[in-house]
A and B are shown apart, each in its own frame.
Chain A
Amino acid sequence: MAEAIAVRVRFFARLRELAGTDSGALHVPPSSNVEDVYEALRRQYAALPPVESVRAALNQEFVEWGAEVSAGDEVAFIPPVSGGR
């Protein structure tokens, strides 16, 4: 069994309030993707909304949910941005 990898997670705006924290550390199995990270966080922070209403950023770049994470990565979960017209 390969060793778990540590990632740093961050929450912003409404997700930060729902999680009750702005950041944390998480250990996930090797080859986990961003969605695996989010689903693990939803088990920890039950108020987090389903993946459909969230966007993910990996090391400050928007990514698809299938993007694989590596040790030391920063994974941020963010709501749709502010809008206006």
Chain B
Amino acid sequence: MRYDVTLDRIDARELEAVVLHPGAGAICTFSGIVRDNSRGLAVTHLDYEAYAEMAVPQMRKIGEEIKQRWPEARVAMAHRTGHLEIGEVSVVVSVSCPHRAEAFEACRWGIDRLKESVPIWKKEHAADGTYWIEGEEAKPV
């Protein structure tokens, strides 16, 4: 298990190495990537801000929830903060399980929970200005 909030580039392969073990027949890894458009507008870059002292424990809690639902799962998560360019990896969730069906399910569940309960915010620098993204809403700075 590994849970990180980091200013450094995230290497998905490193997280996969953490969850890899001889009983794992499947690893499912989700990588979130900075996209060049949002709400129909060009995006130039993003800034992520975290409440790190809370974000890491929240990630650990999600990992424990995954273990309760899929007892054989192993989990690693990392979220980047700071300035990110288009095409960079912002978040990775990697889950290993004995078989692929539960690896897909657990990984999907993990990233969805992360998006709703881990205190990390995205500031979007778009063609027409800068916005804080709050759930479905974009609020101008």
Contacts and interface: CB of A to CB of B under 8 A. Distances in A.
Interface of A: 10, 12-14, 16-17, 53, 57, 60-62, 76, 78-84
Chain B interface residue number, banded: 20 to 34
29 contacts: A12-B49, A12-B121, A13-B121, A13-B132, A17-B141, A57-B51, A57-B119, A60-B57, A62-B117, A76-B54, A78-B119, A78-B121, A80-B134, A80-B137, A81-B115, A81-B116, A81-B117, A81-B119, A81-B120, A81-B121, A81-B134, A82-B48, A82-B120, A82-B122, A83-B133, A83-B134, A83-B136, A84-B32, A84-B115
- Chain A facing B: main interface SS: mixed
10 smallest beta-carbon distances between A and B, as pairs: A13-B121, A60-B54, A80-B135, A82-B122, A14-B132, A80-B134, A83-B135, A79-B134, A12-B51, A13-B49
Contacts of B120: 81-82
Interface of B: 32, 48-49, 51, 53-54, 57, 115-123, 132-137, 139, 141
A29 B32 CA distance: 44
